[in-house]
Structure 1
Amino acid sequence: MKELQTLLERLPFVYQIINEQNPVITHMTTDSREVKAGALFACIKGYTVDGHDFAQQAYDQGAVALLVEHELTDSPLVQIKVKDVFRVLSFLANEMYDYPTNEMHMIGITGTNGKTSITYILEEIFKKNKQQTALVGTIQMKIGDKSFPIKNTTPEPSYLFNSFQAMKQANVDHCMMEVSSHALEEGRVRGIDFDIAVFTNLTQDHLDYHPSMMDYRLAKERLFQQLGNRYDPVRPKYAVINADDAYAEHFIHATSQPVVTYGLTPASDLYATDIQLSATQTQFTLSGMVDEVRITSKLIGKFNVYNMLAATATALKSGVSMNVIKAALESLPGVKGRFQSVQTNTHYSVIVDYAHTPDSLKNVLETIQTFATGKIYCVVGCGGDRDKTKRPLMAHVSETYSDVTILTSDNPRTEDPETIIKDMEKGLESSNYVVEIDRKQAIHRAIDLARESDVILIAGKGHETYQIIGRETYPFDDYQVAHDYLEKRLGD
C-alpha cells in the first residue's frame, strides 16, 4: 500500500487533482465489483459500459480515490483527472507494485494459434530446469502450482501488476504470458518488461474487433516493438518468430532486437525434419541451433511440432540446456482442451480441441487424417456476437477435411443459434452434414454414429467449462459431456 501523493510524485503525465486528499491506496481496480476498502477505482470507458457511471458504487464499497477522464461533480472522493485512464493506470499500477516485471524473466507469446500450448510447454521446461514458474493465459493464471481463475486471456493492468507482485513474492523466475491482440490494441501490457516475444502464426480471427487483417497484424506487431530499441548485454532481449508463417517478415521488421526463427526447413535458425505422426505420439529431429536430437512427444500433430520448436528456441535463449528441454518435451502429457483424447474403452477415438479458427480447425483435421482409418466426424459451431465472416470458412474446412460435419452451437451469446448455423451453411457445397443446435445432443449424435476405427473431433471450446447463451453463462464441458455419454453407453 502507498499514499496517493507518493504515487503521483512519479507520474509523468499531465493531470489535475479534484477534491485534493492523500489517502492510502491499498489496491487498484477497473471493476467496481472488486472494490474493497482503500481502492483506487479507475473509470475506464468500455465498449458497452462507462466506468464513470460506477463511481458511486465504488465509493459505497470503500474506494478512496478515482482515476477519471472527466470530473464527477457529485463524488466526494479525490479524483485524478487525466486524458487517458488506461495509459495512466498502467504506470500507476507499475509504481504501486514496485515494477515487478523488472525482476522476472518475462516471455510474451502472441499469434492466432498455439499460445496456450507454448506457455504450458515452457512451464514444463523451466520446471525441469528447477526454476519457479508462473503463467498467464486463456485457461488460467498459475503461480507455481497454484491456479487462479482469469477473465481475459490478457487481463487489465491493475490486475496484472498485482499478480506480478505476487509472483515476485513467490520467487518466480520465469513468467509466460499469452498476449492477445485485444490487449495490445488497448494497451493492457504497457509497462511490462518483456525479455522474449514469440510469434506463432497469423490467420483470420477477431475480425469483429479489428477492421481488417492488417489491423489485426499491426496490433500483434506491437509486442515486438515494445521489446525496445536498446541492446542490453546484461539482460538481452529476443524475438522468436515462426519463419514459415506468411507474415513472418512483418514481425521480423517490427523489432530492433535479435531475431531467432523456427520452422520446418534449414532456412530457420531452429528447424524440425523427419516428422513422423501417429495417433499416440509425434517424432521429429531438431537441428540448427543445436546438434541433431531426436524428440518423441505425446503432443500430437504438425502444429504441435511448431509449438515445441517455439518453446525450444525460447528456452535455449533463456539459458536452458538441450538435455533438459528434450526431457521436458518427452514427458509432457498434453494440455487440457488441446487435442485432448477422451479416455474410454471404445474402439473409436474422441478428441476435444479448442480449434475455433479456420486454420486451427484445418490443422487439427489434417492431423487426424494422418492416422484415421475410419470416418472422421467433426462437431463444430461458431460463437455469436463475433466475426461472422469466418462462419462459412469453418464449415467449409470441416466439410473438406472430415467425412461428416455436425453443425451445432458454440457460445451463441445474444445471437439466434439458427442464424449462426445458417451463416455456416453458406460455406457447404453438399448436403452431407447434420444440424443439431443443442451442443450436448450434437456430441451424443456423433458418438451414436461412430463405429470402430472412426474419429470424432469436438471442436471450438476445448478447455472451456461453460456455454454462453443470451447473457447467461451455464456449466458446459465438451470433454465431460463426451466422457459421461461414453460411460453411459458402455454401461447400457
Structure 2
Amino acid sequence: MLFGELLEAVEVCATAGDPAVPVKGIAYDSRQVEPGFLFVAVKGFKADGHEYINEAIKNGAVAVVTQREADLPPGLAWALTPDTRLALALLAARFYGYPSSKMKMIGITGTNGKTTTTNLVAAVLSAAGQKTGLIGTIHNRIGDRILPVKHTTPESLDLQRLLADMAAEGVGTCIMEVSSHALALHRVAGCEFDVAVFTNFTQDHLDFHENMEDYLETKLGLFKSLALPGVKKQGKYAVVNIDDARAAEFIRSAGVPVYTYGIESQADVRAEGIEVSARGVNFTARGRWGSCPLKLKITGLFNVYNTLAAFAVTAALGIPANTIRDTLEATGGVAGRFELVDKGQDFAVIVDYAHTPDGLENILKTAVQITRGRLITVFGCGGDRDRTKRPLMGQIAAKYSDFVIITSDNPRTEDPLGIIDEIENGLKPAANECRYTVEPDRRKAIRAAVKAARPGDVVVIAGKGHEDYQIIGTRKFPFDDRLEAAQALEELK
C-alpha cells in the first residue's frame, strides 16, 4: 500500500516526501522495522519512539509518522499527526484491510468476569458450528490454534494483524476482552464491534485512571462506539448486567438495542433457584428466551452472572437454548478462576485470579458458602499498581476469613514489605475476629496455609490465578500458584 493511501485514515497536520512510496509493513518498535516499513513513533510509558527514529531509518524505514517535529533526513516521507497512538491503530486497520468488518466482533468489558464470559461465549458459538477467534488474558485463539498473549488486549498493530489472520482463516466471530487500558490507549480504534457486553464496575486501575469517573467514562467508550457510523448497518446490540449500580449509564451510552441479565432485578434473562456447591452451581435462566435449567461445573454467584451474560449474548444471536444449555453445562472452569487443586486431601484448595476488592469479595463469599470448617486466605497485591485498593482488600480478607496469610503477589519495583504494610492497615482493625500473619515469600505462604488446613477447611490462594510467573523487580521468575499448592499437598503425604 502507498504511504499517501495509508494517511487517508488519519488526521494529518503536516506531511512531506513522496506519498507514492510503497509501504510493506508497519512497526512501532524500531527493532521490528524491516526494509520498506513505515515507522510510527509512539511515546510510551518507559520509552519514547521519537528517540528511535534514526534507528528505524537505519533498519530500512521508508516513511515515518510522528506527533512532534523531528529532525529527519531530506527526502524521507513523513507525516505529523496529533496522536500517534490513535494514528497507529487507524493506519494498522487500513493496512490490514479493516479485518473487523469481515467478521462479527463481540467486545466484553468490565472490572471482573471478562475472561470467563469470553470463554463461555466462544464455547457456545463453537458448539453451534461457528469458527471463532478469542482474544483474552490467558491466551488468544484462532479456531483450535492457541496463540501466546502479552496484554489482555493486544497493542493496536498486533491486534489488527491478529484479526487479519482470523479473517484469512475463516473466523466468523471474534470474542474479545476489552480492557480499560485498551480503550484509553486506542488499541481497539479501527475495530467495528457488533456486540458490547458489560459485566460489572468496581475499583481497579486507579494507578492508570485519574479517578473512578475517568475509569467509567473509558469503559463507556466501547458502548458509545456501537452507534457510530460504520460498514456494518444492522444487528448491533449491547448486553448489560442490570444488577450493577452503573448499569443505567451503559444502557444510555449504547444507542442500540440492549439486553439485560441479572439476579436481583427484572431482566431479559434472570437466574432463579440458585444452588451453590463446591463442585458447581445450579439455577434456572428464565426470561425473554424461555426457561432453561442449568447444572454447571463452575461455581460461585459471580459465575452465575458470567453464565447469564454468555446466555444473553448467544441467545440474542439466535443460538438455540438447548445448544447453549448443553455447552454451558459441559464447559469446565477457566484456568486460574476458582480452580480446585485436588490431591485427594480432606480440605479444599482453590486458586483464583482475584486481584481487586470486588473480585476478592466474590470468591471469598463463595468460599464461605462451601466451607464446613475454616476459611484460610493467602493473598497479596501487585506492585506499581493501584495502591488505594490494598487496605480495602485487607478489610475484605478479614471480613470473610478465619485466618489470613499476607504475602507477595508481583511486587515489581516496589518494596514487598511496603505493599504488605498497606494491606495490613486494612486487616489490623479486625485482628480480634480474624487471625493473620505475614509471610513475604509466596512459596512459603502457600505451604504454611496448606500445612495449617484441617478437614473441612477451605484454602483460597488469590491474586495470580493462571499466571505462571512472579515479577520481582524487573525480572520474571517461574511461579505458578497451582503447581506450588499441588507440591505442598504432595509434601503433606
What is the 5 A alignment of 1:14-33? 14-20=12-18, 22-33=20-31
Quote the residue 1:330 is aligned against.
Answer: 329
Whole-angstrom CA distance in 1 between matches of 2:29 and 2:148: 15
Q: Cα distance, 1:21 vs. partner?
A: 6.2
Whole-angstrom CA distance in 2 between matches of 1:216 and 1:355: 19
Quote the residue 2:199 is aligned against.
Answer: 200
Whole-angstrom CA distance in 2 between matches of 1:264 and 1:29: 46
Quote the residue 2:364 is aligned against.
Answer: 365
* 1:485 corresponds to 2:484: no
Residues 231 and 237 in structure 1, CA contact (< 8 A), matched pair in contact too: no
Residues 108 and 194 in structure 1, CA contact (< 8 A), matched pair in contact too: yes
Q: Cα distance, 1:62 vs. partner?
A: 3.5
Whole-angstrom CA distance in 1 between matches of 2:62 and 2:139: 30
* 1:462 corresponds to 2:465: yes
Residues 266 and 288 in structure 1, CA contact (< 8 A), matched pair in contact too: no
TM-score (norm 1): 0.95
What is the 5 A alignment of 1:63-74? 63-74=61-72
Whole-angstrom CA distance in 1 between matches of 2:149 and 2:331: 23
What is the 5 A alignment of 1:227-242? 227-229=226-228, 235-242=234-241
State the Cα deviation string for residues 277-308 of structure 1 (Å, max 9, x = none).
00011100011012211100001101000000
Residues 137 and 177 in structure 2, CA contact (< 8 A), matched pair in contact too: yes
What is the 5 A alignment of 1:354-393? 354-393=353-392
Equivalent position SS for 1:166: helix
Quote the residue 2:39 is aligned against.
Answer: 41
Quote the residue 2:242 is aligned against.
Answer: 243
TM-align CA RMSD: 1.8
State the Cα deviation string for residues 436-458 of structure 1 (Å, max 9, x = none).
00111111111111111111111
Quote the residue 2:266 is aligned against.
Answer: 267
State the Cα deviation string for residues 172-206 of structure 1 (Å, max 9, x = none).
01101111111112222112110000000001111
Q: Cα distance, 1:44 vs. partner?
A: 0.8
Residues 231 and 257 in structure 1, CA contact (< 8 A), matched pair in contact too: no
Q: 1:392 to 1:12 in 2, by over 3 A?
A: closer
Equivalent position SS for 1:66: strand
Whole-angstrom CA distance in 2 between matches of 1:231 and 1:69: 27
Residues 242 and 265 in structure 2, CA contact (< 8 A), matched pair in contact too: no
Q: Cα distance, 1:12 vs. partner?
A: 5.1
Q: Which range moved further: 136-145 or 125-134?
A: 136-145
State the Cα deviation string for residues 329-374 of structure 1 (Å, max 9, x = none).
0000110010011121211111110000111111101101111101
Q: Cα distance, 1:228 vs. partner?
A: 1.3
Give 5+ residue unaligned stretches, structure 2. Answer: none
Whole-angstrom CA distance in 1 between matches of 2:69 and 2:480: 45
Whole-angstrom CA distance in 2 between matches of 1:254 and 1:106: 18
Q: 1:63 to 1:477 in 2, by over 3 A?
A: farther
Quote the residue 1:315 is aligned against.
Answer: 314
Residues 2 and 19 in structure 2, CA contact (< 8 A), matched pair in contact too: no
Q: Cα distance, 1:17 vs. partner?
A: 2.7
Equivalent position SS for 1:279: coil
Q: Which range moved further: 28-37 or 167-176?
A: 28-37
Quote the residue 2:443 is aligned against.
Answer: 440
In structure 2, give the amino acid aligned to 1:199: F
Whole-angstrom CA distance in 2 between matches of 1:149 and 1:315: 26
In structure 2, give the amino acid aligned to 1:194: F
Q: 1:433 to 1:260 in 2, by over 3 A?
A: same
Q: 1:367 to 1:12 in 2, by over 3 A?
A: closer
Quote the residue 1:471 is aligned against.
Answer: 474
Whole-angstrom CA distance in 1 between matches of 2:32 and 2:118: 28
Q: Cα distance, 1:209 vs. partner?
A: 1.1
Q: Which range moved further: 260-269 or 27-36?
A: 27-36
* 1:133 corresponds to 2:136: no
Q: Cα distance, 1:85 vs. partner?
A: 1.1
What is the 5 A alignment of 1:47-446? 47-75=45-73, 77-229=76-228, 235-265=234-264, 267-428=266-427, 429-431=429-431, 432-446=435-449
Whole-angstrom CA distance in 1 between matches of 2:206 and 2:80: 33
Whole-angstrom CA distance in 2 between matches of 1:457 and 1:62: 52
In structure 1, give the amino acid aligned to 2:222: L
State the Cα deviation string for residues 207-251 of structure 1 (Å, max 9, x = none).
111111111111110100000156999631111000000111111
Whole-angstrom CA distance in 1 between matches of 2:415 and 2:192: 43
Q: 1:486 to 1:34 in 2, by over 3 A?
A: farther
State the Cα deviation string for residues 63-100 of structure 1 (Å, max 9, x = none).
33221112332556432221211222222111111111
Residues 111 and 201 in structure 1, CA contact (< 8 A), matched pair in contact too: yes
Whole-angstrom CA distance in 1 between matches of 2:311 and 2:296: 13
Whole-angstrom CA distance in 2 between matches of 1:225 and 1:113: 20
Whole-angstrom CA distance in 2 between matches of 1:419 and 1:102: 48
Residues 56 and 75 in structure 1, CA contact (< 8 A), matched pair in contact too: no
Equivalent position SS for 1:246: coil
TM-score (norm 2): 0.95
Give 5+ residue unaligned stretches, structure 1. Answer: none
Residues 282 and 300 in structure 1, CA contact (< 8 A), matched pair in contact too: yes
Residues 101 and 231 in structure 2, CA contact (< 8 A), matched pair in contact too: no
Equivalent position SS for 2:293: strand
State the Cα deviation string for residues 116-156 of structure 1 (Å, max 9, x = none).
00110011101110110111111121111112222211122
Whole-angstrom CA distance in 1 between matches of 2:349 and 2:339: 8
State the Cα deviation string for residues 382-439 of structure 1 (Å, max 9, x = none).
0111111110011111111111110000111111000000001110124410100011
